[in-house]
């Protein structure tokens, strides 16, 4: 493995490349990355670095998002079969049907969606800023997709009529985490703090001491005085949490909270992508422009300036 890491580092210098890895990636992939984080934060980071090539170690919509925000850079995804089942649940046609039914409702799309869907949105948000954006929109009824649990969370936080598009959209990893699983984990670790991703069902969020995105969980764990944490999200995050907090203990809510798409990316795949410059992510420029505008509109609403 050490030899493979060395070859990746050498190719990275030759290609003037940057490697981005999502928090759910395999530990060895996270360790080789220049930046580790959530999908949109990584894409924004890519906008701020001097690189010709972005190797995005994440699922398909994430690499697509990086290409949308970085049209002047070549974006590679190490495994083209790294799919996000949540993003696949919402098509452009389905979203358009909802827009016809609620013509006056602003459309807020979660970043976990494809370019053709983002292009039809008024705002594109992350799990970290979704509630803040919706709170600032001057409308009581909002179309929000594709994750219904996140829509429910935003509804609870804002008190607005947040309509989930589609009504049963979900991440199968977070959907698999049940209340009984968290209760059992608490019985084993009664002094632990529960952190839950907002994509978890409401019954799981009810048991959480903290609800937030992966990046927010990382920050909370670092700043919290607690020494033990039960983590209700994809198990890949535990590597980063343990690595950055050596004096603290982290336990998965369930061992089987694994994203198959994320785990398709390996060091070998990263090496081959860089060596052969293959699996280039391409997005139609008209779609990319509209999706980019929806992302930036959300940041403008929050008063956040992005450096190019």
Q: Which of left, alpha, beta for 96 (phi over 0: left; psi -120 to 50: alpha)?
A: alpha
pLDDT in tens, 53-88: 999 999 999 999 999 999 999 999 999 999 999 999
Confidence label for 308 from pLDDT (cuts 50, 70 and 90) = low
Give the DSSP H/E element, type plus range, for residue 175.
helix 172-175
Contact 173, 257 (CB under 8 A): yes
The string of DSSP letters for 205-257 reads: HTT-SEE--HHHHHHHHHH---SEEEEES-TTHHHHHHHH-TTSEEEES-TT-
Distance separating alpha carbons of residues 298 and 113, to the nearest angstrom = 15
* Domains of the chain from N-terminus onward: 2-83+262-283 (3.40.50.10800), 87-170 (3.40.50.10800), 177-252 (3.40.50.10800)
Contact 64, 115 (CB under 8 A): yes
More confident residue, 45 or 102: 102
* Angle, CA of 297, 303 and 306, to the nearest 5°: 70
User: For the chain, how are helix, strand and coil distributed in percent, rounded to 5?
Assistant: 45, 15, 40
pLDDT in tens, 94-127: 999 999 999 999 999 999 999 999 999 999 999 9
Report the Cα–Cα distance between both ends of the chain, in Å, rounded. 35
% of the chain exceeding 90 in pLDDT: 90
């Amino acid at each position: 493995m050490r030899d493979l890491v060395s070859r990746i580092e050498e190719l990275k210098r030759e290609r003037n490349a940057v490697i981005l890895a999502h928090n759910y990636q395999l530990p060895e992939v996270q360790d080789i990355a220049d930046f580790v984080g959530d999908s949109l934060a990584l894409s924004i980071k890519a906008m701020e670095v001097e690189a010709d090539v972005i190797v995005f170690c994440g699922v398909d919509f994430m690499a697509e998002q990086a290409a949308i925000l970085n049209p002047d850079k070549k974006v590679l995804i190490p495994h083209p079969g790294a799919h996000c089942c949540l993003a696949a649940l919402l098509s452009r046609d389905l979203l358009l049907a909802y827009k016809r039914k609620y013509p006056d409702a602003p459309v807020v799309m979660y970043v976990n969606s494809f370019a053709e869907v983002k292009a039809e949105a008024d705002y594109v948000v992350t799990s970290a800023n979704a509630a803040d954006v919706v709170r600032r929109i001057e409308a009581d009824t909002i179309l929000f997709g594709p994750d219904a649990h996140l829509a429910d969370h935003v509804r609870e936080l804002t008190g607005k009529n947040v309509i989930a598009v589609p009504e049963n959209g979900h991440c199968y990893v977070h959907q698999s985490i049940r209340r009984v699983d968290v209760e059992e984990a608490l019985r084993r670790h009664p002094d632990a703090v529960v952190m839950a991703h907002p994509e978890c069902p409401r019954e799981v969020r009810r048991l959480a001491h903290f609800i937030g995105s992966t990046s927010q969980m990382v920050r909370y764990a670092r700043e919290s005085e607690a020494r033990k944490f039960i983590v209700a999200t994809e198990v890949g995050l535990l590597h980063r949490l343990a690595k950055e907090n050596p004096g603290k203990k982290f336990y998965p809510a369930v061992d089987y909270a694994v994203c198959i798409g994320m785990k398709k990316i390996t060091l070998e795949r990263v090496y081959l992508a860089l060596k052969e410059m293959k699996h280039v992510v391409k997005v139609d420029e008209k779609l990319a422009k509209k999706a980019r505008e929806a992302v930036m509109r959300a940041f403008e609403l929050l008063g956040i300036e992005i450096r190019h």
